[in-house]
Structure formats: C-alpha cells, structure tokens
C-alpha cells in the first residue's frame, strides 16, 4: 500500500491515458475514417465589429489518430516513470506537469482556431520549461531558459499573425489568404512552426532540452512539443498553397536541417543527444515533405516516428537507469548481455528509425523518399535529402555500437540493475506499435488518400539510400582511426557542434537577447520612459500644484504679476488675428 500511495499518481495517469487512447482508436478511427468524413463543431460566444468569437473543434482522421498516439505514448511514459522516477519525492507534481503537457497538446490538436491554438502553444512552452529545469541545477536552468526563449519567438510571431488576420475577420485554419498581408501571415506561421520544431536557425534548444528527465525527453521528442510546429504547418497547408515562396523556403530549410542534424549525430558521443539529433533530422524530413507538396505523407511519418522514437527513448532510458545514470558512449557498452530485453528493443527501434522493411518507419520513410522524386523539388534538393536520409542508418548504428555491441569501459558490474515490470510493460506496448503501427496506419491512409508511385529505378535508389549507411559498420570494423584522426579531426569538431548552430541561435537568443533586454530595461524602463511616464507626470503634477497654490495665495503682488503676464500675451497674440 505504501508503494501504491507513493506511485499511485503515475499508475492512475497511465491507466486513464491508455483508456482514452483505446476509445479514440476504436470509436474515432472507425467512425471518422471508415465511415467517412470529419466533423467541425463550433460554438459562437459573441460577435463584435464583424468578427465572430467562436470555439471550433475539428474531429477528422488526423486529429483523432494524433490524439490517440499522444495518449498512448504518454501512458507508456507514465508507466515507465514509476520505475525511472521511483526515488522522486514530488512524483505527483511531476505527473501533474505531464498531464498538463498532454492537455495542452490535445488543445492544440483539436482546436483549429489560431487564437485558441495559442493557448495550447503557450501551455506547451510553459510546461516544457518547468520539465526541463526539473532537476534544478545550472545546466537544467540554462537549457530551460534557452528552450523557453526560443519558444517565445514563436509565440510572438503567432500573435503577430493573429493581429494581421483581423483583416479577414476569421482565425481558423485553411482559409484562403489571397488579399493583403497573405504571404506575410503565411511566413509568420511557418517561422513560428520552425521555432517549435527546432529548424535552422532555431536548432540549439532541442539537444539542450536533454537536461530533462528521460521520460520527459521521450514525451517531448516523440509526439508533443517538437511535433507541434510540424502539425501547425500541416494544418495551415491549404493557406500556404497560395504562398509558394513560403513552401520553397520551408523545403530548403527542412533539407538543410536534416543533413545538419544527421552529420552532427554521427559525431556525437552522448547517447541521449544522438537520439535527440535523430529527432531533429526526422523533423527536417517532415518539413521537407510539407514543402514539396506532400503534407499527408508528412503526417504519416509524424505518427510512425512518434511510435518508434518514444520506444527508442524508453529503451535508452532503461539502459541509462540500469547502468548508474551512464549515458556517455565512450564508457557505455556491452549492455546486450546484461539487459537483453531493453537492448533487443533498442535494436528494433533503431531498425524502425533506419527504415528496415516491414517495420513502422519503413512505410512512411519510403513514401517521403518517393515524394522527393515525384514532387516539385529540384534535383540538388533531392540529392541533399537523399544524403540526409542515408545518414539515419549511420547514427542508428552508432547508437547500437555504443550501447549494445561495444566494449564497456565503465566500472563494476555491481552497478547494473534489472528492468522492472513497469519498464517491460511500457516498452512492450510501444514495441507492438513500432512493429504494427506502420501497417495499420497505411491501411488508414490508403483508405483516405492515394499516393504517387515511382518506377523501378526510383525504388532501386531508395533501397540503396536506405542501406548505404552499412558502410559505416565496415569502417568501424576496420578501425581506420588514423585516417579519421588526420583528415576529419577539424571536420568532426565542426559537425559535432551542429555547424556552430548553438552559437548562432543559442547565443543570439539567450546571450544577446538577454543583454539587450537588460540594456532596454536600464535605458527605457528606468531611463527616458520614466521621464515621460509615471515619475515625470508625477513631478509635473507636483510642480503644477505648487504653481496653483501660489496663484491662489491672495497676495496683491502675485495678482499684479499675473495681470502683467496676461496683458503681454494678449498683446502678442492679437496682431496675428
């Protein structure tokens, strides 16, 4: 009973989230997808100046499946937290933050009004800040400040978009914007989504957010915070079609982000950061698919990615927790014999990340690669995208070689633990999703929309790109470390720093931004704004009261002076009339 009293909150949360996920999948998918159509329920509060203030709720196959997966992954994370956070004193507070995170994400999913989306958007930013700084040390605080400041940029851009949308008198998604400020509004929404999804140049906060507990990382980097920007752009896609310049920029930024994150993951040594960079690479993959005109395929990859990435994080968290909180790849290794279940599931999730045939990642990744050939993208852009896709096998092999198959350079085996039943159950649920999720979702997607198929030559190229990363295993087996040390020493430093993106976006937001705020506070709030603001007005009113008191003192000398001044002013003004 003591264990249930202390860990009852995560257990009840996981049971509730699993039940909601089951209801959404059974009734929602059957009722919305297979019976056809979606629904838009709208409540009007009042109408003011030609603008209707309403609360719309959209129920279609995208929102239903997305909410189902968010609840499923959140339930697995809550169950996993019973083991990972077993020594946490404030476990109820932690679960309240998790449930607030899930609630904000569902508000963002189901409400297609940009004003109400901002509530879920801000809720994700605030709760993510509280979760990132959960361990309350300097590293967590620095990562949390960087996360919340970058997210505030997206908040400001969405608020500007709402202000310009007053021209249409409507704040819902999917409406034409062929009038004034249409391209500008689309650009604001896209850049706001890029801040949440950590696209270039806002990429520094996503690896820094690894300072949060591993269950939070599994939730944030799979289906909630980082996918909010992609989901916003996909929901806004019908309006973005009228701004092809914005889609052109989005495809280029997505391809660059995918290559940058993939190369950085190939040179990183921290296990959690490699997985975080793989998330960033897949987000660029989705943004590229949206930019070249395939938002439905991007949604498909978003859902399958949520399943196997959450599994990857939970397996990595189980290994880290069982090895005495060791996540440095230069120390960690040889875990396959000590933790066979977690290591086997890590291999499975890495295979899904690579796009191994008949796992969940294969179906969506194959469609995105096909869209690169049949979409309206340039040849150079397609080559860059294929190069970024080929890196997925490289950093997946790095994860396996560092954690499972490598040599252990750590301490005694006494530091090893075993997986608890909560870890096994939570990982098993996501294993089923990682294996069968792609097949089930493909049935849903084929029943909703059809896709273009490429020829035999395109399939051969896609197969080659999927497995070309195997060359890394041969290079690692031959141990040509001299060649790597001589030719790629400086290059490895450049790539491991994310192309110095932490200096560009991190210092720009956290360093220059905070310094500019301090200067503005000293020069504006405590400077000339005080002269023209509260202090200045108070001083002028005080002097006016003194003058008024002297005027009304009843002295003959004062009355004489006032009479002379008034006569002088009258004589000066009268000649001008």
Dist CA 440 CA 304 (whole Å):
10
Contacts of 515 (CB under 8 A, 6+ apart): none
pLDDT tens, residue by residue, 344-364 = 888 888 888 887 777 887 777
Contact between 338 and 416 (Cβ < 8 Å): yes
Measured in Å, how far apart are the chain's first and last C-alpha atoms? 95
Distances (CA, A) of 115 to 3, 110, 181, 248, 492: 43, 13, 18, 26, 44
Residue 24: which of 344, 234, 303 has the closest Cα? 303
The CB density around residue 257, as the number of other CB atoms within 10 Å, is 29
Residue 125 confidence (pLDDT):
83
DSSP 179: S
Contacts of 556 (CB under 8 A, 6+ apart): none
Dist CA 198 CA 209 (whole Å):
11
Residue 498 confidence (pLDDT):
61
Dist CA 485 CA 538 (whole Å):
69
Burial of 387 (0-12, 13-18, 19+ CB in 10 A): middle
Contacts of 392 (CB under 8 A, 6+ apart): 262, 278, 281, 282, 353, 354, 355, 469
Question: Could you give the residue ranges of the DSSP H alpha helices within 133-270?
Answer: 138-164, 182-196, 205-208, 214-220, 225-235, 237-240, 244-267
Regions of the chain short of the pLDDT cut 50: 1, 414, 448, 450, 477-487
Cis link prior to 201 (omega < 30° from 0)? Answer: yes
Residue 454 confidence (pLDDT):
52
Contact between 246 and 240 (Cβ < 8 Å): yes
Burial of 22 (0-12, 13-18, 19+ CB in 10 A): middle
pLDDT tens, residue by residue, 79-108 = 888 887 777 777 888 888 888 888 888 888
Ramachandran class of 50: left when φ > 0, alpha when ψ lies in -120 to 50, beta otherwise? left
Dist CA 514 CA 71 (whole Å):
36
Q: Are strands 51-59 and 39-48 parallel, antiparallel or unpaired?
A: antiparallel
Dist CA 512 CA 506 (whole Å):
9
Dist CA 108 CA 123 (whole Å):
9
Domain ranges of the chain: 544-577
């Amino acid at each position: 009973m003591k264990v249930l009293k202390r860990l009852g909150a995560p257990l009840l949360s996981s049971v509730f989230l699993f039940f909601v996920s089951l209801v959404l999948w059974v009734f929602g998918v059957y009722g919305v997808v297979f019976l056809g159509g979606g629904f838009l329920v709208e409540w009007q509060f009042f109408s003011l100046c030609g603008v209707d203030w309403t609360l719309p709720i959209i129920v279609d196959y995208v929102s239903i499946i997305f909410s189902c997966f968010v609840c499923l992954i959140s339930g697995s994370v809550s169950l996993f937290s019973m083991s990972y956070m077993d020594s946490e004193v404030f476990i109820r507070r932690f679960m309240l933050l998790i449930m607030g995170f899930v609630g904000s994400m569902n508000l963002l999913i189901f409400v297609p009004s940009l004003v109400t989306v901002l509530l879920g958007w801000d809720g994700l930013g605030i709760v993510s800040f509280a979760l990132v700084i959960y361990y309350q040390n300097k590293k967590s605080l620095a990562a949390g400040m960087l996360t919340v400041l970058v997210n505030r940029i997206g908040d400001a851009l969405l608020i500007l978009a709402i202000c310009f949308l007053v021209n249409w008198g409507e704040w819902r998604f999917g409406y034409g914007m062929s009038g004034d400020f249409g391209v500008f509004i689309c650009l604001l929404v896209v850049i706001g989504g890029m801040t949440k999804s950590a696209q270039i140049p806002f990429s520094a906060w996503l690896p820094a957010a690894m300072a949060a507990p591993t269950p939070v990382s599994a939730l944030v980097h799979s289906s909630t915070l980082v996918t909010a920007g992609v989901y916003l752009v996909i929901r806004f896609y019908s309006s973005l079609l009228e701004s092809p310049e914005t889609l052109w920029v989005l495809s280029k930024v997505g391809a660059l982000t995918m290559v940058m994150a993939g190369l950085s993951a190939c040179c990183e040594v921290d296990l959690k950061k490699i997985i975080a960079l793989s998330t960033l690479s897949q987000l660029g993959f989705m943004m590229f698919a949206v930019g070249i005109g395939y938002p439905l395929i991007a949604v498909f990859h978003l859902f399958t990615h949520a399943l196997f990435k959450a599994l990857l994080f939970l397996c990595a968290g189980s290994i880290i927790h069982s090895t005495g909180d060791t996540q440095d790849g230069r120390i960690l290794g040889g875990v396959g014999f000590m933790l066979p279940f977690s290591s086997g599931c890590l291999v499975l999730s890495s295979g899904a990340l690579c796009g191994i045939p008949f796992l969940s990642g294969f179906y969506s990744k194959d469609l995105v690669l096909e869209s690169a050939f049949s979409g309206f993208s340039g040849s150079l852009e397609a080559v860059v995208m294929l190069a970024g896709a080929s890196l997925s096998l490289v950093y997946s092999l790095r994860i396996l070689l560092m954690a499972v198959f490598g040599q252990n350079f750590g301490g005694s085996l006494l530091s090893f633990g075993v997986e608890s039943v909560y870890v096994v159950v939570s990982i098993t649920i996501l294993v089923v999703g990682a294996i069968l999720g792609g097949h089930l979702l493909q049935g849903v997607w084929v029943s909703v929309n059809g896709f273009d198929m490429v020829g035999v030559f395109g399939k051969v190229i896609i197969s080659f790109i999927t497995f070309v990363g195997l060359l890394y295993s041969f290079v690692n087996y031959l141990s040509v470390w001299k060649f790597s040390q001589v030719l790629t020493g400086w290059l490895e430093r450049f790539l491991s720093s994310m192309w110095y993106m932490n200096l560009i976006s991190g210092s720009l937001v956290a360093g220059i931004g905070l310094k500019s705020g301090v200067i503005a506070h000293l020069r504006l709030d405590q400077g000339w704004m005080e002269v023209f603001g509260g202090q200045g007005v108070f001083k002028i009113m005080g002097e006016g009261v003194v003058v008024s008191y002297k005027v009304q003192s009843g002295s003959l000398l004062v009355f004489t002076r006032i009479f002379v001044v008034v006569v002088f002013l009258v004589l000066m003004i009268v000649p001008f009339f």
